[in-house]
A = this chain, B = another copy of it.
Amino acid sequence: MDHEGLNASLGAVSAQQTPAPKAHRIIMDSNKVVENIYLLVIVTLVSVLQNAFFAQKVERECKNHNTRTSAFERVSCANRNCMDAYPTFLAVMWCAGLCLSQAPAAFAGIIYLVVRQKYFVGYLGQTSQSTPGYLFGKRVITFLSLMCVIGIANYLLVRFYGSDYKEYVETITNAATALLLIP
């Protein structure tokens, strides 16, 4: 009995039962990681596709004219403004997804991408229009930052006071995400 208890450990025990438990456990572990981030990965992929779309616009304008025309200036500037804000967006979205919960973070990410698309298209618009400012998507970034702050505050509460409000917080966050849809 005793040496069974000593040897126990899930791995060792199941090793006597099934033929390939270790590989199975590794796959499970790997899937557990993917489970917590797969929505974030999907949003990241969509944002990469959008980046490629922007870059291709610049590429085409660059090859067509080859001179510093107004259209090239516009598309290049729009692309640069989007790219400047991109690492910030990625960092905040992933932090929010890891610290609190991934579904609202991914949803906010999608909304950010829609806002970015509108900004880019608006930048390329008629030359008579005034160009939009340097910043965009402030509300989404603020929302994601707040999610990070709340997630860390909840962690510190659990650690020092032992009270866990994560469930309530997640419910509220899920509801609050809908506010982002208001134009």
Contact = CB atoms under 8 A, between A and B. Distances in A.
A91 interface: yes
Contact of A45 (B9, B11, B47, B148): B148
Q: Is the interface of A mostly helix, strand, loop or mixed?
A: helix
Interface magnitude class on chain A:
35 or more
Interface of A: 1-2, 4-17, 27, 30-31, 33-38, 41-42, 44-45, 47-49, 51-52, 55-56, 58-59, 62-63, 79-80, 83-88, 90-92, 95, 98-99, 133-135, 138, 141, 145, 148-149, 151-152, 155-156, 158-159, 164, 166
Given A34-B151, A58-B134, 19 more contacts: A1-B2, A2-B4, A7-B9, A7-B12, A7-B13, A8-B10, A10-B12, A27-B164, A34-B99, A34-B155, A42-B152, A44-B91, A44-B95, A45-B92, A45-B149, A48-B88, A62-B133, A63-B133, A87-B90
Counting from the closest, the 6 A-B pairs by CB-CB distance are: A9-B9, A8-B8, A9-B10, A4-B5, A7-B12, A34-B155
20 contacts: A1-B2, A5-B5, A5-B8, A6-B16, A8-B8, A8-B9, A9-B11, A9-B12, A34-B99, A34-B152, A35-B155, A41-B98, A41-B148, A41-B151, A42-B152, A44-B91, A47-B91, A48-B88, A86-B88, A87-B90
